[in-house]
Structures are given as structure tokens and as C-alpha cells.
């Protein structure tokens, strides 16, 4: 090994694996993307993968409430995630799925599809493979990253926020909506959280060794700063 290569190997920080979990609208995606971009890490949105497979089921006429039919089709679509935090991508069988996976139809169906064990096994394997290939490390966000997908992650974060704050954030994304929509948005968030927390296989849950960050009263910049500080502390420990 040349001196230069040897010095670089000694000084380059080891790959860092970060898992960020939490209920819907707590800021997982915004925080994870920004933290990964700041620290030169890859970024994986596992919710986008569950949405993508749900979109494929709906597009192929599979009844998402028929767990046996969903399980039988679980291995069929090819899901590919691009992990550049400044331009994350998701394709299904080669087609760009970034737009279609955000429709109300997919949002309403995704909890049923993601409760099917065969779906979880398939995507958990994919997520572990992506994390293992990230040279400098990766920020992976979802619902079961700390408990199931990456139980040996260097840092686990569990983001929370009040249902009111999360609904207000989501409504802010949909400018021009009436006040009554805020209540409907909150009810939909709470319903999806209950389904995600209540399923048998790898439910939404805080890992025992995760750091909980309540973002209700924090700006997004404050949450990003907090997570960056926690990662730097782990790296220097
Ligand atoms: N601390 C914060 N303060 C104010 N707004 C925030 C904060 N964190 C995130 N947001 C905003 O809240 C909305 C939801 O954030 P984001 O999509 O990151 O949440 P999420 O936890 O990934 O949600 P989901 O699980 O539904 O994908 C976005 O519009 C984002 O800009
Ligand atoms: N690790 C994960 C990530 C997501 N899901 C399911 C449950 C969510 O309601 C849905 C969509 O996720 P979002 O885009 O809102 O982050 O996907 C899961 O079960 N496990």
C-alpha cells in the first residue's frame, strides 16, 4: 500500500449506519435526506418501497385486502431505489414510480399490503442489501429499521410529534384546503399509525436502544442539527 492510500484508509471515517423510525409526519424523510446530504451518506426511504409494491398490486388488479393474493405476488415486481439524498428515486419494473406512489389510493392501501409477512421479508432483504453496499454509510428511514431491518445500526433515532403538529405539517403541504380538512388529515394519520403499530410482523415501534426526539416544538433545522450531533458523537466515541 502506498503512503497516501494508507493514510487515507487510516483517516477515512468508518461507514456509519443510521436508522430513523417514527409515525407518519414526524419528519423522517425531511430529516434523513438533509442529514445524509450534509454528511455524505446515502439515503433510503423504505416507506417509498412499501408504497411502490402497493402501487404495483393496485395496478395489477390484486385485492390488497386479500393477504394470500398479496403474499403470492410479493416476489413479482422489481423495486429499485436510488439512494442519492439530493435526488432519491424509485422504480417498479423500470417505470418511475415517484409520482404514483404518493396518491391517496396508495396511501389508503399501503398499511394492508405492508402487514403481509411475505412483503416484509422481501423488502427487508432488499433494504439490508442496499445498506450493506453504502460505502460511507447510509440513513435508512421507516417504521421497523431499528427493531428489525438494521438491529445493529450505529445510531437509532425514533422521531415523534403530536398528532396536531403532524396534521398541521401535512396540511401545509396542501395549501388552500379548508379547516375541516385538518381534522380529516389528523384522523387519517392516526388511523394509519394504529394499523402500522398494530400489525403482527415488525410493527411500528421504538427500539429499546433508540434515542427518542420529540419534534413537536422543534423546527426542521433544529431536528437536523440534533441528529447530525448525535451521529458525530457516535463517530467520535
Ligand atoms: N420539525 C418540523 N417542523 C415543521 N415542519 C416539519 C418538521 N419536520 C418535518 N416537517 C414538515 O412536515 C411534513 C412531513 O415531513 P416528512 O415527510 O419528512 O415526514 P415523515 O415522517 O417522513 O412522514 P411519512 O412517514 O408520512 O412519510 C413535510 O412537509 C415537512 O417539511
Ligand atoms: N419500514 C417501513 C416503512 C414503511 N412502512 C409502511 C407503513 C406506512 O404507513 C407506509 C408508507 O410509509 P411512509 O411513506 O408514510 O413513510 O409504509 C412499513 O411498514 N415499514
Ligand 2, atom 20: closest residue by C-alpha: 143
Name the closest ligand to CA 49: 2
Beta-ladder partners of 157:
20, 211
Could you give the C-alpha distances from 107 to 29, 192, 205, in angstroms and in order?
16, 9, 20
Residue 9's pLDDT is what? Answer: 47
Nearest CA among 229, 234, 227, 164 for reference residue 21: 227
How many angstroms separate the alpha carbon of residue 24 from the centre of ligand 2? 8
Pick one of 3.40.50.300, 3.30.160.250, 3.30.465.10, 3.30.70.20 as the CATH number of 22-230: 3.40.50.300
Residue 39's pLDDT is what? Answer: 97
| Torsion region of 137: left, alpha or beta (phi above 0 gives left; psi -120 to 50 gives alpha) | left
User: Does this complex have an ipTM over 0.90?
Assistant: yes
Residue 22 marked in a binding site? yes
Could you give the C-alpha distances from 128 to 44, 172, 221, in angstroms and in order?
11, 34, 29
Distance of alpha carbon 140 from alpha carbon 122, whole angstroms: 16
Residue 172's pLDDT is what? Answer: 76
Residue 23 marked in a binding site? yes
| Beta pairing, strands 155-160 & 211-214 | parallel
Could you give the C-alpha distances from 48 to 77, 182, 219, in angstroms and in order?
14, 24, 24
Tell me if residue 38 falls in helix, strand or coil.
helix
Residue 173's pLDDT is what? Answer: 74
Q: Per-domain residue ranges for the chain?
A: 22-230
Residue 160 in contact with residue 141, Cβ under 8 Å?
no
Pocket test for ligand 1, best of 24, 30, 191, 226 (most atoms within 8 A of CB): 30
Residue 100 marked in a binding site? no
Q: What is the pTM of this model?
A: 0.94
Distance of alpha carbon 92 from alpha carbon 155, whole angstroms: 30
Q: Taking the CB of residue 117, how many other CB atoms lie within 10 A of it?
A: 14
Q: Ligand 1 within 6 A of 143 CB?
A: no
Residues in the chain predicted with pLDDT less than 50, given as ranges, are: 1-5, 7-9, 179
Residue 4's pLDDT is what? Answer: 47
What does the pLDDT look like over 140-192, one tens digit per residue?
Answer: 999 999 999 999 999 999 999 999 999 999 887 765 555 458 899 999 999 99
Residue 24 in contact with residue 188, Cβ under 8 Å?
no
How many angstroms separate the alpha carbon of residue 116 from the centre of ligand 1? 26
Residue 167's pLDDT is what? Answer: 94
Residue 81 in contact with residue 42, Cβ under 8 Å?
no
Amino acid at each position: 500500500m502506498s503512503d497516501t492510500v494508507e493514510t487515507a484508509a487510516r483517516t477515512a471515517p468508518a461507514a456509519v449506519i443510521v436508522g430513523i423510525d417514527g409515525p407518519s409526519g414526524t419528519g423522517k424523510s425531511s430529516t434523513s435526506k438533509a442529514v445524509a446530504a450534509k454528511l455524505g451518506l446515502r439515503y433510503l426511504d423504505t416507506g417509498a418501497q412499501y408504497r411502490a409494491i402497493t402501487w404495483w398490486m393496485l395496478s395489477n388488479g390484486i385485492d390488497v385486502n386479500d393477504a394470500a393474493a398479496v403474499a403470492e405476488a410479493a416476489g413479482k415486481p422489481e423495486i429499485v431505489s436510488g439512494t442519492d439524498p439530493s435526488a432519491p428515486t424509485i422504480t417498479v419494473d423500470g417505470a418511475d414510480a415517484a409520482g404514483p406512489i404518493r396518491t391517496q389510493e396508495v396511501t389508503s392501501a399501503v398499511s394492508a399490503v405492508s402487514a403481509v409477512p411475505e412483503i416484509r421479508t422481501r423488502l427487508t432483504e432488499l433494504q439490508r442489501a442496499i445498506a450493506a453496499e453504502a460505502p460511507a454509510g447510509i440513513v435508512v428511514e421507516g417504521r421497523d429499521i431499528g427493531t428489525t431491518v438494521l438491529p445493529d445500526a450505529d445510531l437509532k433515532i425514533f422521531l415523534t410529534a403530536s398528532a396536531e403538529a403532524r396534521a398541521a405539517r401535512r396540511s401545509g403541504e396542501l395549501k388552500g384546503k379548508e379547516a375541516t380538512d385538518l381534522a380529516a388529515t389528523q384522523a387519517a394519520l392516526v388511523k394509519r399509525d394504529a394499523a402500522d403499530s398494530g400489525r403482527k410482523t415488525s410493527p411500528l415501534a421504538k427500539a429499546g436502544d433508540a434515542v427518542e426526539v420529540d419534534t413537536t416544538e422543534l423546527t426542521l433545522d433544529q431536528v437536523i442539527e440534533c441528529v447530525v450531533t448525535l451521529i458525530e458523537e457516535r463517530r467520535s466515541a
